[in-house]
Amino acid sequence: MKKAEAVIGNKSIKVYRKSNCPLNRLPPLVLLSSSRRAIENLALEETLLRRLPNGGERVLLLYENNPAVIVGRFQNPWMECSTGRAGQAGIPILRRFSGGGTVVHAPGNLNWCFIAPEAVSEKHETCQRMVKALESLGIFSTVNNKNDLLLEFDGSYRKISGSAYRQIAGGALHHGTLLVKADLELIRQLLNGPARRIIGKGVRSVPSPIANLSGYIPSLGTAETADAIVREWGGELRPIAPEKYQDDPVYMEALNRLGSEEWIWGKTPVFSEQLNLPGGTVMECEVQQGCIRHACLNGIPQPLLSGCRYRKEDILAALAAADLPWLADFADLVDGRTKK
């Protein structure tokens, strides 16, 4: 077997390449992204799916991002996370191109993505390979019917990995997270916003108790975990830099789309929300493509809000010249912030 090296989690990992792969479903190519930007790695996933290397070679991509909130393609960000907390902390909110629930990417959370030239019908098997990789570290997890990886702590199971799926003509993608040594309090703060009275058709995430692998093995880091995953999957290891695709129109289209207001907010399914302002005042809003289509304050239409993006900074900017005593409170509630 041949040996190669790459870097993740600020550590060099050594990976043994299997010269003869006994299972034809194992990917012959394993990639470690050098980028920590969530938008770049999401665009890289799309590009690898749409441009499968070497005429259809299976790929396993691993990466670790700086903090970012990632909502599923058919979700409502206002329902799924605290948009205000994310904004205050400078943490981007992004919408991926696969379905599923909302996750928080951050250091200590190892992301994996398996891409194949045909439908990945054995999603459960993909997760089982992750289970085997963890077993090599002495961690014994299980997979539920939603393809989540669970680990038992003090008699109860906690989620350590969730995944989502996307299929296109000519290929399929199955990607997920793996909590190794993530900031669980940050995840809870970003995903546990105040209760909101939103009515809409967006796919809702199912809250689950979460845990880190380091809660089981305190010394474990993302580099050691990535090493175990790559050794289990086998294949040829190569580092990859998303910037190498800056001349690729597929990559640039994905990068620009994933960062656009129209995609992140505008793709939210139509919804309505009732906001209770101080003093018993009630604002009712109907939101379409991320913008207010109709708003009423105590039943009285508010035409100045029509067409305004449903975000605090946009609302305050659009109505800056108006003398409206309820405006600041309304904008705070839209942003998921409540008065203490």
Decide: 185 and 166 in contact? Cβ < 8 Å: no
Angle at 62 between CA 123 and CA 144, to 5 degrees: 30
Q: Which two tokens stand for residue 202?
A: 């967006």
List where CATH 3.30.930.10 sits in the chain: 2-264
pTM for the full predicted model: 0.90
* 44-78 per-position pLDDT tens digit: 999 999 987 666 778 899 999 999 999 999 999 99
Of the pLDDT bands very low, low, confident and very high (cuts 50, 70, 90), residue 176 is very high
Q: Each residue of 102-120: pLDDT tens digit? A: 999 999 999 999 998 876 5
Cβ within 8 Å of residue 222, ≥6 positions away:
8, 9, 64, 107, 108, 109, 110, 180, 181
The fraction of the chain above a pLDDT of 90, given in percent, is 74
Per residue in 238-267, pLDDT (tens digit) is 899 999 999 999 999 999 999 999 999 999
pLDDT of residue 14: 53
What is the CATH topology of the domain spanning 2-264? BirA Bifunctional Protein; domain 2 (3.30.930)
Q: What is the mean pLDDT of residues 230-243?
A: 87
Binning the chain into helix, strand and coil, the percentages to the nearest 5 are 30, 30, 40
What are φ and ψ of residue 192, in 5° steps? -105, 75
**Whose structure tokens read 């109709």?**
294
Q: How confident is the model at residue 11 (pLDDT cuts 50, 70, 90)?
A: low
Name the residue among 112, 126, 117 with its Cα closest to residue 54: 117
Mean pLDDT of 80-102: 95
User: Which two tokens mark 182?
Assistant: 């993530």
Task: Check residue 200 and give its pLDDT.
Answer: 94
| Residue partners of 159: CB distance under 8 A and separation at least 6 | 148, 149, 150, 179, 208, 209, 210, 211
Task: Check if the beta carbon of residue 228 is closer than 8 Å to that of residue 134.
Answer: yes
What is the per-residue pLDDT across 306-319, written as a single tens digit (0 to 9) for each? 999 999 999 999 99
- Which regions of the chain carry the CATH code 3.30.390.50? 271-334
* CA-derived radius of gyration, the chain: 22
Q: Could you tell me if 310 and 325 are in contact, meaning their C-beta atoms sit under 8 angstroms apart?
A: no
Please report, rounded to a whole number, the percentage of residues in the chain having pLDDT higher than 70. Answer: 88
- The pLDDT score that the predictor gives to residue 16 is 42
Looking at residue 193, its pLDDT comes to 78
Name the fold adopted by 271-334: Enolase-like; domain 1 (3.30.390)
The pLDDT of residue 145 is 87
pLDDT greater than 60 at residue 23: no
List, for residues 182-222, the tens digit of each pLDDT value: 999 999 999 987 889 999 988 999 989 999 999 999 999 99
| CA dist., res. 10 & res. 290, Å (int) | 38
Burial of 311 (0-12, 13-18, 19+ CB in 10 A): buried
Per this entry, what is the length of the chain? 340
CA neighbor of 62 nearest in space, from 73, 76, 48? 48
